[in-house]
Structure 1
Amino acid sequence: MTSETMATNLLAYFGQQLRRLRTQAGMTQEELGGRIGYSSTMIGMVEKGRRAPSQHLTDAADRVLDGRGVLSGLWLPIQEQATPDEQLGQYLDLEARAAGIDTYEAHLVPGLLQTEAYARAVTGHLRPPVPPGEIAARVALRMSRQEILVADHPPALWAIIGEAVLHRQLGDRAIMRDQLTHLLTCRESHAVTLQVLPFTTPDPAMGVSFTILSFAGAPPIVYLDVLTSGIYHRGNVEAVSRHQSVFNYLREAAMPEGESVALIAARRRALERTVRT
């Protein structure tokens, strides 16, 4: 049996169990969705095995339907078999529900702070090459993610970037200039704290980018976006604690926010001069 077949079978079985528990509880899809914060369409897609459930949906449904761990016990095997697109969908669901987002990016501007042109340049440099139609879809998705920053109750975003991010040119210089301008604008207009880790400071993360999502009333989650998939740390308290410790170190080791903003502004001015010449 291929991994794709296993993943499909797991999703179908999860959907059957969700439907069984919901029916036993006497709830409609709309009623269950209302109780746990999802649309009836989403509940229906999960029940039909057409959408991988997020951990939040899984745990919430297990609790509301008194599943006694039936659904939660299936979540990790599903995650292990999930495709990159399914993993991304799960991450986006968690990101949209987070109360706080702490992210360290050693090489790129964080996705939530990218301009459309920069995001297109990033996607265009992936190898193997991404088909043009898929590039447009990925960029559109990235732009839609940023809506959480202008929501009524946006998450508190704390972004630390390596100094190399300011110098790594993706696209032409005008794209980089506009991207740095956007960083400064986001810092002023949204609940964003921005710091730069200078070249002269050791990197305890060894160049590995990661994101910590914190939630009201739920344990934090660590997400690492690697080349072929996403890696989560949830129940692994030691791993989550280690990443929190590293991020706290980065917070102290990085330039203070005022100095970071000044450095970004100086780099933006340098790019502006080269664009004009």
Structure 2
Amino acid sequence: MTDMSEREFVLTLSCPDSRGIVAAVANLLAAHSGNIDESQQCGDHYTGRFFMRVQFSVDDAGVSEDALRGAFAGLAAEFSMDWNLWRRDVRPRVLVMVSRFGHCLNHLLYRQRSGLLGIDIAGVVSNHRDLEFLADSYGLPFHHLPVTSQNKPAQEARLLELVEDAEVDLVVLARYMQVLSEDLCQKMSGRVINIHHSFLPSFKGARPYHQAHARGVKLIGATAHYVTADLDEGPIIEQEVARVDHAATPEQLTAMGQDLESVALARAVGWHAEHRILINGEKTVVFR
């Protein structure tokens, strides 16, 4: 008997906006015994692009995944679509990179172990050994790749080897305090998510919460975004903020900020894993 989870799919697409796209997708699915469980779409009037995510199941075992892909390929050509078809029972494999702050890594590991995050973590990479114990406690491979100006190209090449060998779909920078090269950003475009310790645009660089405290801010935040060659300017996926006042110390701001970072990053990773994010130029469409 066929496991129905193997017959559940997610279709994501973007294309020039025009009449009939939703109807064409629905008719194609109906013709292939598809039942739509969830559908979201939007048009961007500024770019003229249309975005759509459809979650559906196929109850006819005679309709193969290859047949669906072939049918969608024909439809994509008609509407000039960029599209992907994903099986819902296949969980993305994730490589987490971290330096010395463990709150985001710990949150991701806990949520994944608890069944609250639909990913498989393939391992942890760090330029320090401080959090090796945490990876060990979850039985995960830990890869120590210290980075200097002299060995950075070699270490990035090693990182790409790890991505290929472990069949990694997504790299998550969980407070990894190294800047990725432009070459690596291009090779991993749309496959690296970073958490920034500010509500961008805001205080950049070291000790951001101390900078915020010195300026008497009333909001602090965190921003999860895709990584590009433009430092901390990639398409934003999720942001979290908290209201603060003059009584908060830098240490209290730091603790609050770490909570915001953990939550924003976990949401972004979860939405990516569920194929709910479509990149729209320098921003994103997120079908929550």
Q: TM-score, normalised by structure 2?
A: 0.28
Q: Which has the higher helix share?
A: 1
Q: Does 1 or 2 have the higher relative contact order (CA < 8 Å, sep 6+)?
A: 1
Q: TM-score, normalised by structure 1?
A: 0.29
Q: Which has the higher strand share?
A: 2
